[in-house]
Chains A and B, each alone.
Chain A
Amino acid sequence: MASPSENTQSGLMAKAVKEGIFAGAIAFGMFLLYVGIETYQDIDNRLVWRTRWGLLAIFVLVAAVGRFLTVGFIKPHIDRRKLAKAKSGVLEISEDKGFFHKHFLKIALIALLLYPIGSVMLFGPQGSLKYVDNFGIQILIYVMLAWGLNIVVGLAGLLDLGYVAFYAVGAYSYALLSANFGLSFWILLPLAGILAAMWGIILGFPVLRLRGDYLAIVTLAFGEIIRLVLINWTDVTQGTFGISGIAKASVFGIWSFDVGSPNYFPRAMGLATSSAWYKIFLFYVILALCLVTAYVTIRLRRMPIGRAWEALREDEIACRSLGINTVATKLTAFATGAMFGGFAGSFFATRQGFVSPESFVFLESAVILAIVVLGGMGSLTGIAIAAVVMVGGTELLREMEFLKLIFGPDFTPELYRMLLFGLAMIIVMLFKPRGFVGSREPTAFLRERKAVSGSFTKEGHG
């Protein structure tokens, strides 16, 4: 079988060129209409079109060159490295992880706690807003939502495409109850969670017998129903106008963040008047909520109900014959997941000060689900990484002013958000088909928790 190496080398190059041209042709076909031609309205409000051959050429070139490099250089390189590793007998997971690896969670937690302080020190209160609010809080909200959905999808294996409904229930619960009854955030937060959990059970009942694609479609419809109710029940929800002027969260009822209030928090602390302090406070609130979610998830996985969720994902029939009540198991999964969605929703409402049905469209469900899948269903760490990459990445796009120099002044990077989102997903799924952290952490051990040898727990691709 061994052929001369220069022979395979030239064969490889020929193949790389061929595949590169092929990829270019496909990209040309795909983007010809989307990118090559643009429609716009002229001064007389007529719809006319113009061509963008330059941009199209860039797309085609990127695809062709990318494919060429992948086939010709990157893939052989990776294969060679894998081969060398296999030859030297090093296991994929080595026993002695680096310091960073071992203490990753502690380091991450400390970094998160110091993050707002660091950004205030570096950029001043006003300058820190962007980092604390746009990046910090935004990402943490998605971490929390994805961790909540993870209970339903990642642990219990119930594909839920309408998760945003519970987010909406939480947000509107807070908005309406605080506006109509003047209740505080700290009372309404648990209440919003409970209300969302109730809706989780209400959704759970009719879909108990459904699985997989059927379940996905019904949950999708449920998400849309909630949104349409919010739009059309104008007496209560004010429809598409949304509800504004939602009360801010207080510091446990002791200090407030309303400038007019006598116990205005920054004044009490002797800080300059700035909206940044409120955002920093909110950052710690959502961080705490995330930690609660993680803690509860980790605890539940070691309790009968959590084990039952995971067993349900693996094999429902086996579960039943082992004496597991699958009805109760599914309902608790829906309810628990929904509850965290509700928490996140009421937090979202107090952070924005405004809610409208537009925040709860299907795309949100899809993004949250994508984060769960990318992270590796079930893995909290993986999901957090995925949230940072996906949400942080899209926020970063807004910052990329320099792209205008390349693509012209009309280029708005945010519009390519979804394109990049999809691209990132494809790339991750190609190289890590089980998500960032694809292996499941076992929860049962005999005697003390010993380090499980890596070669056994590493799963094959399936």
Chain B
Amino acid sequence: MKAVLERGTVEGRPHAALTGGDGMVTRQETVQERVANSTLAQIRDVDIDDVLDYLHADLKKLPDYLDLYRRYLRQRWDVYELDFGQDAIDWRTRMSAEERTAFVAISSGFHHGERQVEVELPVFMLGGSEESKIYMSSQIEDEARHTIFFDRFYREVVALPGTSIQDVLDASYPHVSETFVGPFGLLAHQADELRRDPEDPAARVRYGTTYFLWIEGVLALSVMKITLSYCRTRKLLPAYYSGFTATCRDEARHVQGGMRILRDAVQSDPAMLHEIHETLRTILRMNGAVSRRLALESLGWTPEEVRRLMIRQLTMKLSDVGIDLPPDLREQIDRLQPELAGG
């Protein structure tokens, strides 16, 4: 396992730990430290690619739950500190109707995704070690904060109507793709399974594959890369950029914690690999259905680029935590379709 964890590159670039004792190491580590230590105000200058590097670098050593909890305490940010004033101006005056439509279509899957991962996580916290429960309490709070982040964005920038959180969710739901029910309905029902026995190891692994590997590790990170690169390139939506980059840094903890859960489960019982495979078979089967065309081009992406981004996000996590795939799953991954939501 150790050899697998230390192999490979990060986002196609050499990882600091692998480059040896030259000046490159210091520079790379500085970037990672900057990602780790930025305040909400400073994170505006952080590049999404560096956050993704930061996420994958630690996947190789997989911090333990209390390390992640301590990191959470340092990195927690105040969603009410964001000022969406400039974003609202950008939205009205600097973005085309087509860009706004594409942006809302992609973000709505995240708006509902955050709410979903928030409400489905407490049942997972009922099981596992005491350390993992402490850590999970921080992830629940993160997901609640992410839900508020989108609630504020939709009210203050997109100007959707509503007085309650549910009102705003209802208003953005028409923008959510019909295929959202695939992974997120699955998660809801896997949480329901877990409710019957929160310590059932197989149910925990199936749930973890949907939540931590697919929804967070693939869907969420892909949406982050797409929308944040667009904002950065076009110099738009500064509060969205800051909040969503901070969300991505939170996601690094979630994916690392989640991959630890899956890796530890397989190490203690290799039969759990079968549960990961069966869950991925279901997820990739559902992924073949596409109900709406997303105008990704207006955000600077082609569907093929998004497809490749998703494949890369998935295969990097699988190889980093040493999850091998049988040929049928490899073929399913090759046929992956762009799908944009997250949590």
A and B form one complex: no
